[in-house]
A and B are shown apart, each in its own frame.
Chain A
């Protein structure tokens, strides 16, 4: 399988302070990789680095085989869904308007968006929200809004999808439904997905690989290896059993 992302001994500093150090892992095409770690571990920072929004001070990062400094050449192949709290819930847009914002790029400046309606309909359909085209975004439930935002990140038909805490603030049924949707997308669209979450229970069942960080690299590998590793307790600074809602490590990822 082709490597979509490769990191080697990555160090990131913000305002002179080291926030990520010694991060090394790779993501192959078609994989769903979960980046886990406690709050403040640097997970979102790592995603922002992958998007070229933050600079790498040391180490190597390649995306689609290109150094991150040339990310603009492959940006159209990347879909991104930020954390939900970053936008205003009452923003006066329809579901279709929200999805259409995902079509904008430097190439669309001073231009109309060709085939906009069709692309938006396809994206909405891929997340099971085709009947929500004209619905007001502010009237949707948290789970529905997440689906619309996922549709937005898919509208350019990316090959790599970066999701930041997509399950945060959703109730359990909405979380499950979202996870099932991701699984379907991964299989149907041959997408490479990187999903950031602090919630092991929701991420472990769908991930092909888990990467556990807390400022530095703690462990990465198949979910079974990661969940049984003592490095996990070390990263979360507590007993992992306490993190599982079922109290049963095995059941949370089988």
Chain B
């Protein structure tokens, strides 16, 4: 096996490691709120809708990350707006966006002529193909997310705990919640490059879900979510370097394995501990 220093000689691996670090922090942070606010299904909805935006970018010649981001953020915010208006339930709205975005993506992709390897990357991700420009975008999104979370952390936590109490206290719940959804849309979009449309929701659900199971306070939950997210990202990347498994799948498999171990361990502890 190659030593770490040898792996780092490859520039594509250097970029991939940096991408794993950025996306690991980004997704784990968002995952904390996704679990506390029960937005897991929305994550899956955003990623599948983004496919329509990405395909639209490829057809029109616009930057697919840009068009995908518009679709992802638009889906997240529209879902929040429509469901908060109370006319249609959130899961119904997500279900409609999910299938419509996916259908648009499939329709546009089917019109392509020739072989497009980037389509395969979109569906299943390719961390090894991350460019410097992609890293810059990830870095900007991460900086924005961290800034938003630090500035509004106590308000976000209160809204996740009980929106009604936050509203009664006069907090600007609507704008803060909508920004959280927008940030979630951007996180999903930049993470699609790593694990793809199909698997991205795992990155923003599993780290928080594991942390939620074993934490008694929010500080611990955030720390565990970060640790799990980074373990999954780096573990998957190194795993795929040594074994013939695509990096995106390896990342999600490692996260799923940690989740299974935690669940079984906790059940055993409760029974015999």
Query: Which residues of A line the B interface, CB within 8 A?
Result: 15, 51, 53, 72, 75, 78, 80, 82, 86-88, 90-94, 97-98, 100-102, 104-106, 108-110, 113, 136, 138-139, 152
B171-A106 in contact (CB<8A)? yes
- Chain B interface size range: 20 to 34
With contacts A87-B162, A104-B154 taken as known, whether A51 is within 8 angstroms of B168 at the C-beta atoms is yes
CB distance from A211 to the nearest CB of B (A): 20
A105-B218 in contact (CB<8A)? no
A87-B158 in contact (CB<8A)? no
User: B155: nearest residue on chain A (CB-CB)?
Assistant: A104
User: A80: nearest residue on chain B (CB-CB)?
Assistant: B168
A92-B221 in contact (CB<8A)? yes
Report B138-177 CB contacts with A as 1/0, cut-off 8 Å.
0000000000000110110110111011111111100000
Q: How far is the CA of A26 from the CA of B13 in the complex (A)?
A: 71
Whether B3 sits at the interface, judged by CB under 8 Å, is no
Could you list 7 further interchain pairs (A-B, Cβ under 8 angstroms) beyond the known A86-B162, A106-B171? Answer: A15-B86, A51-B167, A53-B168, A80-B168, A100-B154, A101-B157, A101-B158
Whether B215 sits at the interface, judged by CB under 8 Å, is yes
User: B163: nearest residue on chain A (CB-CB)?
Assistant: A86
Q: Which A residues lie within 8 Å of B218 (CB)?
A: 92-93, 97
Contact of A75 among B36, B164, B169, B220 (CB under 8 A): B169
Q: Which B residues lie within 8 Å of A152 (CB)?
A: 165
Pull 22 A–B residue pairs with CB atoms less than 8 Å apart, ordered by A.
A15-B87, A51-B167, A51-B168, A53-B168, A80-B168, A80-B169, A82-B164, A87-B161, A92-B212, A92-B215, A92-B218, A93-B217, A97-B157, A101-B158, A101-B162, A102-B169, A104-B169, A105-B170, A109-B155, A109-B171, A139-B216, A152-B165
A106-B172 in contact (CB<8A)? yes
Q: How far is the CA of A94 from the CA of B161 in the complex (A)?
A: 12
Q: Which B residues lie within 8 Å of A88 (CB)?
A: 36, 161
User: A136: nearest residue on chain B (CB-CB)?
Assistant: B216
Q: How far is the CA of A15 from the CA of B87 in the complex (A)?
A: 9
Contact of A104 among B86, B158, B160, B216 (CB under 8 A): B158
Q: Which A residues lie within 8 Å of B151 (CB)?
A: 110
Q: How far is the CA of A93 from the CA of B153 in the complex (A)?
A: 14
CB distance from A62 to the nearest CB of B (A): 18
Q: Which A residues lie within 8 Å of B158 (CB)?
A: 101, 104
Q: Which A residues lie within 8 Å of B87 (CB)?
A: 15
Q: Which B residues lie within 8 Å of A87 (CB)?
A: 161-162
Q: How far is the CA of A223 from the CA of B166 in the complex (A)?
A: 33
Contact of B161 among A15, A80, A93 (CB under 8 A): A93
